[in-house]
Amino acid sequence: MIMYDTADQNLIRRNVEKLIRETTSDTPVTVIQGARQVGKSTITSIVTNQIDSRMLSLDNPNTLLAAKANPLDFVNQYRTGMLVIDEVQLCPELMRVIKLSVDEDRRPGRFLLTGSADLLHITGANESLAGRAETVKLYPFSQGELRSKTEDFITKLLTGDIGEILAGVKGMTRDEYISLVSIGGYPDAIKRDARRRKAYFRNYLTSVLDHDAAKLSGLAHINKLTEVLKVLSARTSGELVHAHVATLTQIPETSIHAYIRLLKDLSLIHELPAWGRNLTKRAVGRKKISIIDTGLAGYLNGYQEETLADLTQGEAFGALLETFVVSELFKQQTWSDTDYTLYHYRDREKREVDIVVELPNGKIIALEVKAKSSLVNRDLLGIKKIKEVMGDRFVCGIVLHSGHEAHAFEKGIYSAPLNALWAL
């Protein structure tokens, strides 16, 4: 079992800290957005420790009442320094007042807002802060953060000979990968044993789905949200079929989009769009949905470490491992030196690539995730298809696996241990 040193969570530095400091130095409003209990308040305290600031949390009923009663005075109460408003989505009417205040005084670092929901979509937040604010996403801990490292897998692949870069990675054991997937990255989950972690996720979902979601959404059947999340978790890293979700939850198919949107706004799921630009008209266009954290996904599916040990040869563990990789890449995206966008690919001949990384210049990195350690030729078919069509815009294709060593198959196509994501 993987063990982390969690005696002091503040010692686990967040890799987005540098970006947050940059945005507060040149932008009037910085928004730290992420799920409940991923550490937004902690990193806010660290960033503002030596800054003239005042911190107010709308989780405090009295503070929330004051904000709703007089938004104008609430927003302008600390114009000489930085006003920090925690869980700002609880009072959407503040957005309009913040916009007006910033238009009067565009001094950088005026506001630092944290939110457990996407401020562009919550009910009542109709005023855009475009041009006035920068949003920094905060996720559960990345594997690099847990090892005191700022990992940047995509940038590393672009810095030299890819074969040589990957050859230096030595893989982990199957049991270690099982442990990583079981634990996930929520700060309060990684310091608990399996039994207590289960209780943590149970209470966490009750708080988010029964409490926060009801406040943020006008959905008619908000009590169905838990069912939708469980259905998505059972098919994590699978393509979203609205009819399938509707049938299992007894929600009208036309309403499924709103539930998906709310789960995304609450930062509980990732969406991976289908990629097919300039490739083939036979590409399939459904997006993939994955749970934001494999510890949470495992809980929703009733898995524990010993359960996963029995599933390592099946599709269930493979789906969780793919979810794990997708999540790590989304985390790294927030601090990477390389801009990139994540997609997936499948065509009607069932050639698939789990993750397509598109760079700003249109070049492509194709990543396939396999729970097994030994590969066969069919594991490369999707990557080979993309290489064939993309030509010079194909950077490389890599099959990430649970084995111990990296290998080169042909020019531009490699395999590597999965922990290359953070070990490079």
Secondary structure of residue 250 in the 3-state scheme? coil
User: Per CATH, which fold does 17-137 belong to?
Assistant: Rossmann fold (3.40.50)
> Which residue type is seen at 101?
S
Return the pLDDT at 316.
79
Give helix 40-47 / helix 17-26 axis angle, nearest 10°. Answer: 60
**C-alpha–C-alpha distance, residues 282 and 298, integer Å:** 34
> Which residue type is seen at 310?
D
Residue 191 DSSP label: T
**C-alpha–C-alpha distance, residues 374 and 95, integer Å:** 53
- Cβ–Cβ contacts within 10 Å for residue 52, how many? 10
Mean pLDDT of the chain: 89
Do residues 43 and 32 lie in contact, with contact meaning Cβ atoms separated by under 8 Å?
yes
Q: In sequence order, what DSSP letters do the residues of 319-381 get, joined into one string?
A: HHHHHHHHHHHHHHHTT-SS--EEEEEEBTT--EEEEEEE-TTS-EEEEEE-SSSS--GGGGH
**C-alpha–C-alpha distance, residues 163 and 154, integer Å:** 14
CB-count exposure of residue 307 (10 Å: 0-12, 13-18, 19+): middle
CB-count exposure of residue 292 (10 Å: 0-12, 13-18, 19+): buried
- Per the structure block, which two tokens stand in for 243? 């009819």
Kindly give, in sequence order, each residue whose CB lies less than 8 Å from that of residue 167, ignoring residues fewer than 6 positions away. 406
Residues lower than pLDDT 70 in the chain: 1-10, 119-128, 277-284, 306, 309-314
Cα angle: 45, vertex 333, 316; to 5 degrees = 105
Give me the half-sphere count of Cα atoms (radius 13 Å) on the Cβ side of residue 250.
3
Q: Which residues pair with 398 in a beta bridge?
A: 367, 414
Return the pLDDT at 7.
47
Return the pLDDT at 136.
95
**Residue count (the chain):** 424
**C-alpha–C-alpha distance, residues 397 and 387, integer Å:** 8
**C-alpha–C-alpha distance, residues 91 and 119, integer Å:** 10
90-105: b or e for each residue (b if 16 or more CB lie within 10 Å)? bbbebbbbbbebbeee
Each residue of 40-83: pLDDT tens digit? Answer: 999 999 999 989 999 999 999 999 999 999 999 999 999 899 99
Domain ranges, ordered by start, for the chain = 17-137, 145-423
Instruction: Annotate 271-327 with three-state secondary structure.
Output: EECECCCCCCCCECCCCEEEECCHHHHHHHCCCCHHHHHHHCCCHHHHHHHHHHHHH
Do residues 190 and 146 lie in contact, with contact meaning Cβ atoms separated by under 8 Å?
yes
Classify residue 397 as left (phi > 0), alpha (psi -120 to 50) or beta.
Answer: beta
Each residue of 209-242: pLDDT tens digit? Answer: 888 888 777 777 888 999 999 999 999 999 999 9
Each residue of 242-288: pLDDT tens digit? Answer: 999 999 999 999 999 999 999 998 999 999 999 876 555 545 678 99
**C-alpha–C-alpha distance, residues 328 and 144, integer Å:** 9
**C-alpha–C-alpha distance, residues 395 and 364, integer Å:** 6
